[in-house]
Chain A
Amino acid sequence: MLEATDLWKSYGETAAVAGISLRAAAGQIVGLLGPNGAGKTTTVSMITGLTAPDRGSVHVDGMALGETANEAKRKLGLVPQEIALYEELGAEANLRLMGALYGIEGKLLDERVDAALALVGLADRAGDKPSTFSGGMKRRLNIACALVHDPDVLLLDEPTVGVDPQSRNAIFENLESLRDRGKALVYTTHYMEEAERLCDYIVIVDHGKVVASDTRENLLKLGTAPVVPKGPSLESVFLQLTGRALRDGP
């Protein structure tokens, strides 16, 4: 469904992404993990067509993103890290705008808007403005906006930042439901427990390169430093692969 091959992107002398490849098949959630500055967001940007790669290719359902950008984009849905909503438009109006941008109109748009609101549990708040929503509700609407055109591939860039456990759980259930419907999901996060719960396949990147990619179970086998008595966690494997040094410095 989604195939990104050998993506490269440099800013000046700095290589933000140096040869990352990943695949996401239908009914699969692929976790894209990495410390700050590892190249996750740049990779997602290249996959969604926001940033042109210096090298490499992205195919969605066999269509190249560069040559048939609009057709490929129709099959992609992006949930940005930011809460990218028109705060002064109602929830339904936000969804209708997004649907219109993907060429959906009329009865089909009505159905898609209703379905997206129902999926994220906001059907009863359709007319309310996001400015009146809690953080968790905004996050769910943020996801709904990426679903209204019923994409085959959904890219989620840290979609649970700042939400409470209940909202996070609701979001996970939404994403699992989408996977069950045959969607391909690429999920970037800092939270290892999220990746452990959700992801079928995990790609760990650092310094713009893939340092490990495998199924969750196989990655856990790499762990040599268990932090909990029952065995290695994904977090311990992650730290083992990417190091313990802080990445927030200059």
Chain B
Amino acid sequence: MKALLALVRTDLRLYFSNRRALLISLVAPILIAGFFGATLGGSPGKRPARIPVAVVDLDGSDLTKAIVASMRKDDNFDLRDFELAPAIEQVRAGKLRAAVVLPRGFGAEAPRALFSPYGKKPEIEIHVDPSQTVTMALVNGLLAQHVMEEVARTAFGGGAAGAKFLAESKTAIEKSREIPPERKKDLAALFDDVERLRSQPEPGGAGEGTPDGFALRMPFETKQREVTSGDRKYNPYAHSFAGMGVQFILFSGIDLGVAVLLMRRMGLWKRLRAAPVSRRLLLGSRVLSGMLIATVMMLGIYAAGIAIFGVRVDGSWLGLLLVIAAFGFLTSSFGLLIASVGRTPEATRGIAILATLLLVMLGGAWVPTFIFPEWLQHATLFVPTRWAVDGLEAMTWRGLGLEAALPAVAVMLTFSVAFAATAVACFRWEE
């Protein structure tokens, strides 16, 4: 026991006495977690960044002007005015996410296309930045909303434009050879009803045919409610500190493993092995000191997250400590595994970094796992870092209780024991 304590004390002393390395080990994850947190939305309640988009109106009709005006009011867009060529150039340069081109004739063709299933629809070109796939889905959805609202307002709303549209549409349908007679009859009746509605005063309105008198609108409005612990806002730093903490602490596991290889090279391992201590004690001391270092470092990272970036432990403190300690054990057993399969420090470090980055990436430390394909989301359940990130998030912003930490702790302990057992079995004792 005294030998074990002496070895662990030495490891801790060596690690924590190197203040420069210690500072970097702490500062790097905090800075990068801070960067990721800010990128993912920053402090709670802060508005997300608006999407820079250009709209090129080649038509200049009342309808297209109304669409542009509607988009300009939308807080999701940072609408910029460009000609077509410069707009596309801005997208190529990555300064705009998309350039929406409203074509010539759109104002006339779009309302007609509403009731003309056989006619050609006008095309809105969207020039996109292919690296922004998630943003593009949002741009498409918002654009559809604004266009539909304005086209419907034009088609069914009050004013001359609506009347003209109805008259033209009615004539076009009567002349059409493609629309069956019965459908022509139904459509004509629909237009008559719309015309009658348009001419009636809006209930509670000032007079007949108000500009917004009869218009199709989005049949619902959404109101976002963040499902976190209590009424607190979601803090993106809580995710980034979990992810970057896991990543950098796992890197310290690599150092632990490489240190054993360096000790072997320096003859220190030989000297330790010549002492009257068991193999179990020698390896156990490495695991214990590695676990303590990882745990203390993770607590330091979270302390900075709490103090500087407003990360809150809204779940169980005990659960958080258990998750961190279990992850510390996972880190040290991972390090031991590296030491057992590695040959030279140089080659081992490269391979171990690759393995760590894979573990971290698949664990959802960089981007949340819900972005992954479904099969990969299931597959990552077999990645221990996924449980570490999930466990840390459960105890922080999700505000879950101790019982939510236990599965993550159990899985990490299982992996740790498996890593340690494999390491002991594969460890090269003879020089």
Q: Which residues of A come within 8 Å of B, CB atoms?
A: 45, 48-52, 69-71, 73-74, 76, 78, 80-86, 88-89, 93, 96-98, 100-103, 105, 145-146
Contact = CB atoms under 8 A, between A and B. Distances in A.
B268 A85 contact: yes
A50 B274 contact: yes
Contacts of B273: 49-50
B403 interface: no
B3 A101 contact: yes
B275 A80 contact: no
A50 B269 CA distance: 10
Nearest to A77: B274
A51 B429 CA distance: 8
Given A71-B276, A89-B13, A50 B268 contact: no
25 contacts: A45-B430, A50-B274, A51-B430, A70-B276, A76-B274, A81-B267, A82-B265, A82-B267, A84-B271, A85-B266, A85-B268, A86-B14, A88-B14, A88-B18, A89-B14, A96-B6, A97-B10, A98-B275, A100-B3, A100-B5, A101-B6, A103-B276, A105-B2, A145-B271, A146-B271
Interface in B1-60: 2-3, 5-7, 10, 13-14, 17-18
B378 interface: no
Nearest to B10: A97
Contacts of A70: 276-278
A86 B274 contact: no
A73 B10 contact: no
B431 interface: yes
B217 interface: no
Contacts of A83: 266-267
B145 to A, nearest CB: 64
Interface string B243-271: 00000000000000000000001111011
Given A82-B265, A82-B270, A89-B10, 9 more contacts: A50-B430, A52-B430, A70-B278, A73-B276, A74-B276, A82-B268, A86-B14, A93-B13, A97-B10
A175 to B, nearest CB: 18
Contacts of B276: 69-71, 73-74, 101-103
Interface-centre pick from B18, B267, B274, B278 (highest chain A CB count, 10 A): B274
Nearest to B273: A50
Nearest to A129: B17
A117 B168 CA distance: 107
Contacts of B10: 86, 89, 93, 97
B132 to A, nearest CB: 48
A236 B22 CA distance: 55
B147 interface: no
A88 B19 CA distance: 12
B271 A78 contact: yes
Interface in B294-328: none
A97 B278 CA distance: 16
Contacts of A51: 430-431
A45 B6 contact: no
Contacts of B3: 100-101, 103
B272 interface: yes
Q: Which 9 A-B pairs have the closest CB atoms?
A: A82-B267, A100-B6, A84-B267, A70-B276, A101-B275, A80-B267, A73-B276, A78-B274, A84-B271
Contacts of A82: 265-268, 270
A105 B9 CA distance: 15
Contact of A101 (B266, B270, B277): B277
A173 B203 CA distance: 113
Interface in B320-351: none
Nearest to B271: A84
Interface string B394-410: 00000000000000000
Contacts of B18: 88
A48 B274 contact: yes
Contacts of A80: 267, 270-271
A80 B270 CA distance: 7
B274 A88 contact: no
B280 to A, nearest CB: 13
A81 B268 CA distance: 11
A218 B185 CA distance: 129
Contact of A102 (B265, B268, B275, B278): B275
A98 B271 contact: yes
A50 B2 contact: no
Contacts of A48: 274
A96 B13 CA distance: 13
Given A69-B276, A82-B266, A100 B2 contact: yes
A51 B270 CA distance: 10
Contacts of B275: 73, 98, 101-102
A199 to B, nearest CB: 22
Nearest to B14: A88
